[in-house]
């Protein structure tokens, strides 16, 4: 649903703590146990300004402490690295650049906030196994259409070692799990919330459409791409657009050319309300008829070619691509690490593929999910039922295929896609999709409030730069 180029993902590592990260695995149907946020003393001190200019990430100047968060220091080097990274991103994007003092203060506050959250995560025992970090690393490379080795080479150009990048990914995964534990599981969506959302989204008297289904072909453009590389990617996207306008099957084009997660299902992003699509997409397609082709459009992720698949009017029925899948879930604990669980599932996968074991029987015997009694069968699911990592794994599979072991907030999964179908959604299924939308909005609001509370309780002491 959201796509980022490599450099954008790197630049956003510092800010993901304040933005939140999507959960992995199955969306919870009810609340889990939560832990109370750690008690942190408040501070009213004002931050000291850091010196102008940031050292390149590969050069470390004489360092000093600029702040202390609950006894843990924040160094000038930490803030300067973040500052250099965001300045490089802003320079590539063009446009207005905030004042240096504003950027420095922002990077310092983000660092302080991340420190406080990581401390809270460690205090309640949140850990991230190396396997989860490896999968996150591979996901960043895959979303940008390059190999892991190529991504590491690009990182090295910016002075970022693989070890440092993995540590940053580990921190972001810890923050993600902290959010899931402290915030996401507490959010509830009532039928009244759904009714209110549907009322707010009702079309104006002009009879505007309330839903639209788009398909896309995405050609990602790395932030480090040269003008020649950008031009080549745009030309390739134009070829796809020309083929689509000439009558070629768009679903086949998406499977052959697109780097988007939904390429395996013909590029369809499902029936959604307008606010669930990027504004760029809606501006280009909202007034067009079903079947229209748009693009290439340029976004921060790359070049997009779009096709309008369907529109729904007022209370008209929506269409969606559903998936039927099953899985085996192992839950790590003191006696079973994530890596060991993944190795066990990889062995199950080999046995199933070799015809030596049956997926459903294994699920009944070993799976720790409520679906175990049904042989791991999850039934038919509309878009949005699974959180991004789980859904992305499904989208990459063809019917009958079995995924590699996948780490999620619930444990480690082995997933098999059984079949897909395009269906007309019932009113209940449409309300379930709306429930997911409302839940996402409420989680963002709840997370923002929780972060503010955590920050206000933190003891923060600002330090002046040495004279």
Sign, Cα dihedral of 344, 349, 354, 355: positive
150 inside domain: yes
Say whether both 77 and 182 belong to one domain: yes
Say whether both 132 and 151 belong to one domain: yes
Say whether both 34 and 178 belong to one domain: yes
Say whether both 51 and 137 belong to one domain: yes
Domain that holds residue 73: 6-21+28-187+456-462
170 inside domain: yes
Cα-atom radius of gyration of the chain, to the nearest Å? 23
Q: Are 27 and 185 in contact (CB under 8 A)?
A: no
Say whether both 271 and 384 belong to one domain: no
CATH of the domain at 343: 3.10.50.40
Say whether both 267 and 324 belong to one domain: no
What helix, strand, coil percent values describe the chain, rounded to 5? Answer: 45, 20, 35
End-of-domain residue from the set 313, 335, 361 = 313
291 inside domain: yes
Q: Are 332 and 405 in contact (CB under 8 A)?
A: no
Say whether both 253 and 384 belong to one domain: no
CATH of the domain at 80: 1.10.4030.10
201 inside domain: no
Say whether both 217 and 344 belong to one domain: no
User: pLDDT in tens for each of the 467 residues of the chain?
Assistant: 333 333 334 334 433 333 333 323 343 333 333 332 333 333 333 344 443 333 444 444 568 899 999 989 999 988 888 888 777 777 766 656 678 888 888 889 999 999 999 999 999 888 888 888 988 888 888 766 678 888 888 888 877 888 989 999 999 999 988 988 888 878 888 889 888 887 776 654 344 445 778 888 988 887 677 788 888 888 888 998 998 888 888 888 888 888 877 776 678 887 777 777 888 888 888 778 888 898 899 887 789 999 888 776 554 456 677 899 999 999 988 888 888 999 999 999 999 999 999 999 999 999 999 999 999 999 998 877 887 788 888 888 889 999 999 988 888 999 999 998 877 777 787 788 788 888 888 888 888 899 889 988 989 999 888 87
Element at 214 (helix H, strand E): strand 211-220
Say whether both 331 and 307 belong to one domain: no
Sign, Cα dihedral of 301, 304, 309, 312: positive
432 inside domain: no
Structure pTM? 0.62
* Pairing relationship of beta strands 460-462 and 65-69 according to DSSP bridges: antiparallel
204 inside domain: no
Say whether both 33 and 177 belong to one domain: yes
138 inside domain: yes
Q: At what angle do helices 191-200 and 427-457 cross, to 10 degrees?
A: 100
Say whether both 357 and 269 belong to one domain: no
Q: How many domains does the chain have?
A: 3
CA–chain centroid gap for 68, Å, is 31
Say whether both 238 and 305 belong to one domain: yes
End-of-domain residue from the set 313, 330, 365 = 313
247 inside domain: yes
């Amino acid at each position: 649903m959201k796509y980022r180029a490599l450099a954008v993902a790197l630049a956003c590592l510092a800010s993901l703590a304040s933005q939140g990260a999507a959960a992995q695995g199955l969306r919870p149907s009810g609340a889990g146990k939560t832990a109370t946020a750690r008690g942190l003393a408040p501070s009213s001190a004002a931050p000291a300004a850091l010196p102008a200019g940031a050292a390149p990430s590969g050069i470390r100047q004489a360092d000093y402490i600029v702040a202390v968060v609950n006894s843990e220091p924040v160094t000038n080097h930490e803030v300067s690295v973040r500052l250099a990274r965001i300045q490089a991103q802003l320079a590539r994007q063009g446009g207005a650049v905030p004042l240096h003092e504003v950027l420095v203060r922002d990077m310092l506050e983000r660092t302080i906030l991340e420190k406080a959250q990581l401390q809270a995560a460690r205090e309640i025992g949140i850990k991230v196994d190396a396997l989860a970090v490896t999968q996150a690393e591979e996901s960043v490379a895959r979303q940008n259409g390059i190999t892991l080795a190529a991504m590491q080479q690009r990182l090295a150009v910016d002075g970022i070692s693989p070890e440092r990048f993995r540590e940053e990914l580990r921190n972001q995964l810890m923050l993600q799990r902290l959010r899931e534990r402290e915030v996401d599981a507490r959010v509830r969506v009532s039928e009244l919330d759904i009714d209110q959302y549907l009322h707010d989204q009702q079309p104006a008297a002009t009879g505007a459409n309330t839903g639209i289904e788009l398909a896309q072909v995405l050609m990602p453009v790395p932030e480090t791409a040269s003008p020649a590389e950008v031009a080549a990617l745009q030309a390739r996207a134009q070829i796809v657009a020309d083929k689509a306008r000439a009558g070629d099957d768009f679903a086949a084009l998406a499977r052959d050319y697109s780097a988007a997660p939904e390429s395996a299902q013909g590029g369809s992003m499902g029936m959604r309300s307008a606010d669930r699509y990027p504004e760029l997409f809606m501006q280009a397609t909202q007034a067009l008829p079903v079947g229209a082709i748009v693009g290439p459009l340029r976004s921060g992720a790359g070049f997009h070619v779009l096709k309008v698949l369907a529109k729904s009017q007022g209370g008209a029925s929506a269409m969606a691509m559903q998936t039927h899948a099953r899985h085996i879930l192992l839950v790590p604990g003191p006696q079973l690490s994530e890596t060991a669980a993944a190795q066990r599932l990889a062995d199950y996968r080999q046995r199933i593929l070799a015809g030596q074991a049956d997926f459903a029987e294994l699920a009944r015997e070993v799976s720790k999910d409520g679906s175990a009694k049904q042989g791991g069968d999850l039934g038919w699911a509309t878009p949005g039922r699974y959180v991004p990592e789980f859904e992305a794994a499904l989208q990459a599979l063809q019917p009958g295929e079995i995924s590699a072991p996948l780490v999620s907030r619930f444990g480690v999964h082995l997933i098999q896609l059984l079949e897909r179908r395009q269906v007309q959604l019932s009113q209940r299924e449409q309300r379930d999709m709306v429930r997911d939308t409302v839940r996402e909005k409420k989680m963002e609001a709840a997370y923002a409030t929780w972060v503010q509370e955590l920050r206000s309780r933190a003891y923060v002491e600002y330090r002046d730069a040495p004279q």
